[in-house]
Amino acid sequence: ISAAAIFNHKIVLRLSGSDAVTAQTIDELNAQASSLDDTFWASISNLQHEFFNSKSTIWQARLGATQKLGEWDEQSLIDWCGHIRYIKTDTDFNAYAEQNNIQVLAIKNTATQTMTSPNKIEKALKEAFDPNNIFK
């Protein structure tokens, strides 16, 4: 498993490896397989997935994979196996985050534009660790 996300009550896994290994993994998981190209994963990492098309404030929270967010669980997109959650809400999530010791960042609201491309530091790190652009 090279990536995982949860959206609209569906778990989406990206499997990497040979065709035989990925087929065996699908069988062992007893999962329904469908092919997704890289645009799905790019849309999440670049904050361009349909989830981000909203007038509501979108918060990015970093927390434990199994940590619950109460009423916000239903309004979230879960990335990186649960460690990054994007929460869409019109209420003040920041107060809840402070009370529950959750690190958050408002990534889209009336004062902040959605980030659509990696910043300079992220680009430099990516180029240093992946100069041949193997991992898009």
Residues of the chain with pLDDT under 70: 31, 33, 81-82, 108-121, 136
Which residues, at least 6 apart from 78, have a Cβ–Cβ distance to it below 8 Å?
5, 6, 7, 84, 85, 86
Give the pLDDT confidence score for residue 63 in this predicted structure.
78
Give the pLDDT confidence score for residue 115 in this predicted structure.
42
72 φ, ψ to 5°? -85, -10
Domain ranges of the chain: 37-129
Give the pLDDT confidence score for residue 117 in this predicted structure.
44
